[in-house]
C-alpha cells in the first residue's frame, strides 16, 4: 500500500493543543504553550485510513505528525531552529514509512517554502499550495454563483497577491472577471505580478498597498501570512464574498458578528474519496480535508512521489495538473464552511437578501 504523511501544528494554541492533550490545553496559557513548544519533540498524531481512488480503486495509508511550534513561535525563533524541528518531524514521517510528505499551515511558508526541508529528507515534500489554489478558485466561483454575482462583470481583490498562492490565484481569476485588485505590502513585487497578468489581456489590473479597494470588490481571496486579522467589517461592501485561505485567519471574527450582508467562506475544504478515517479531529467534518492535505493524498494515489509544490513560485500549469489528478481520483469541493461552521443554503439566501436590502437603503440615502 502506498503511503503519505502530513505535518500539522497548533494554530490556535489552546484549542489545538486541547485536541490532543485536553489537560494541557485547559490549564496552560497561550504564553506557556508558546514557551513549552520549544522543548516538545515532534509528535505522532494518528493513522489515516480508508482513502480510496474513485478511478482505480487504489487505497492508501497515511499519518498525521505534528511539529509542536505555534505560528508565533515560528516567527520568534531563529529560522534554522524552526527548520530543524520541521525536519525532525519529517524524519518521524520517514520512520513511519511515508513515501511523500505534505507541509501544513506555517510549515509550508516559513523560510524558503519547503526547499530546505526537502533537501534534508529522503522522501519528497510538497506544500500542497497548488491544489490549495485550485480549490480556492473553485470555491470563489461557486460562491459567486450562489450569491448571483456575474463573474464576467465582477471585481476581484487578492490580498497577499505577491505570495506563491496569491499571485497564481490572481492570474487564474483574471481569466474570468472584469477587474483584479492586487493588494500587498511590497510595491515592486506587486508591479511584477500586475505586469504578468496585464500581459494576458483579459482583465483590468490595479495594485494597492492598503485595504481600501476592498470597498469595490465583489469577490475577495485573502492569503497572507499575517499572525492576526487584516480584514475588518468596515472594509467590505454589501454582498461581497470573502474566501479566507490563510491560517491563522485573515478575516476578523467581527465580520461574522456584525456583517450579515457578506459571505465569508474558509478556503479549500475538500471531500476525500473513500471511507476516510483521520482518527483525529482537526476541526473539519468527517471525510473532509484541507486542500493542502488533499494534494499530498492525490499524489500518493497517483503514485507521483515527487516534490510537487515547493518554493515561492507556482505555475498555472502546476495548478491545472494537480486539479485534474485530484478530480480523477474523486476529490471534490466539499461545500462551504465559515469560521469552522457549515454554511447552509438558507444562510446564503439570508446573506444575499440582507445585502440587497442594505444596497437599497444606501441608494435611498444617496
Length of the chain: 366
**pLDDT band per the 50, 70, 90 thresholds, residue 268:** low
pLDDT tens, position by position, 288-309: 999 999 999 999 999 999 999 9
- Per-domain boundaries in the chain: 3-130+269-333, 136-268+341-365
Pairing of strands 43-52, 59-66: antiparallel
Specify the pTM: 0.90
pLDDT tens, position by position, 353-362: 999 888 888 7
pLDDT tops 90 at residue 219: yes
> What does CATH list as the number for 136-268+341-365?
3.40.50.720
Q: What is the mean pLDDT of the chain?
A: 93
* Residue-by-residue DSSP string for 268-284: -EEEPSEEEE-SS-SSS
**pLDDT band per the 50, 70, 90 thresholds, residue 28:** confident
pLDDT tens, position by position, 102-132: 999 889 988 899 999 999 999 999 999 999 9
Closest C-alpha among 14, 320, 318, 292 to residue 126: 292
Mean pLDDT of 22-29: 84
- Radius of gyration of the chain from Cα atoms? 20
CA distance 222 to 231: 9
At residue 31, the pLDDT reads: 87
pLDDT tops 70 at residue 366: no
Beta carbons within 10 angstroms of residue 153's beta carbon = 10
Amino acid at each position: 500500500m502506498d503511503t503519505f504523511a502530513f505535518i500539522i501544528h497548533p494554530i490556535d494554541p489552546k484549542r489545538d493543543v486541547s485536541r490532543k492533550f485536553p489537560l494541557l490545553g485547559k490549564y496552560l496559557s497561550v504564553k506557556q504553550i508558546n514557551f513549552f513548544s520549544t522543548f516538545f519533540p515532534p509528535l505522532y498524531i494518528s493513522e489515516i485510513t480508508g482513502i480510496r481512488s474513485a478511478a482505480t480503486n487504489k487505497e492508501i495509508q497515511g499519518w498525521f505528525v505534528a511539529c509542536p511550534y505555534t505560528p508565533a513561535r515560528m516567527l520568534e525563533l531563529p529560522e534554522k531552529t524552526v527548520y530543524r524541528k520541521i525536519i525532525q518531524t519529517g524524519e518521524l514521517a520517514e520512520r513511519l514509512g511515508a513515501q511523500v510528505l505534505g507541509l501544513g499551515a506555517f510549515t509550508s511558508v516559513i523560510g524558503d517554502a519547503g526547499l530546505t526541508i526537502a533537501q534534508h529528507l529522503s522522501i519528497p515534500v510538497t506544500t500542497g499550495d497548488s491544489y490549495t489554489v485550485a480549490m480556492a478558485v473553485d470555491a470563489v466561483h461557486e460562491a459567486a454563483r450562489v450569491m448571483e454575482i456575474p463573474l464576467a462583470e465582477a471585481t476581484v481583490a487578492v490580498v497577499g497577491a505577491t505570495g506563491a498562492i496569491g499571485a497564481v490565484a490572481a492570474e487564474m481569476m483574471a481569466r474570468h472577471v472584469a477587474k483584479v485588485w492586487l493588494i500587498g505590502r511590497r510595491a515592486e513585487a506587486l508591479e511584477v505580478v500586475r505586469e504578468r497578468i496585464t500581459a494576458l489581456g483579459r482583465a483590468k489590473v490595479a495594485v494597492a498597498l492598503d485595504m481600501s479597494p476592498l470597498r469595490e470588490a465583489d469577490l475577495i481571496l485573502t492569503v497572507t501570512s499575517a499572525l492576526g486579522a487584516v480584514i475588518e467589517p468596515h472594509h467590505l461592501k454589501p454582498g461581497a464574498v470573502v474566501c479566507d485561505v490563510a491560517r491563522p485567519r485573515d478575516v476578523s471574527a467581527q465580520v461574522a458578528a456584525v456583517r450579515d450582508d457578506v459571505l465569508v467562506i474558509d478556503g479549500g475544504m475538500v471531500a476525500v474519496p473513500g471511507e476516510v478515517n483521520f482518527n483525529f479531529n482537526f476541526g473539519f467534518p468527517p471525510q473532509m480535508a484541507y486542500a493542502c492535505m488533499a494534494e499530498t493524498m492525490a499524489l500518493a494515489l497517483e503514485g507521483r512521489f515527487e516534490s510537487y509544490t515547493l518554493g515561492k513560485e507556482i505555475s498555472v500549469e502546476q495548478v491545472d495538473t494537480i486539479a485534474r489528478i485530484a478530480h480523477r481520483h474523486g476529490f471534490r469541493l466539499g461545500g462551504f464552511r465559515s469560521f469552522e461552521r457549515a454554511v447552509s443554503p438558507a444562510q446564503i439566501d439570508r446573506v444575499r437578501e440582507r445585502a440587497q436590502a442594505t444596497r437599497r437603503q444606501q441608494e435611498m440615502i444617496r
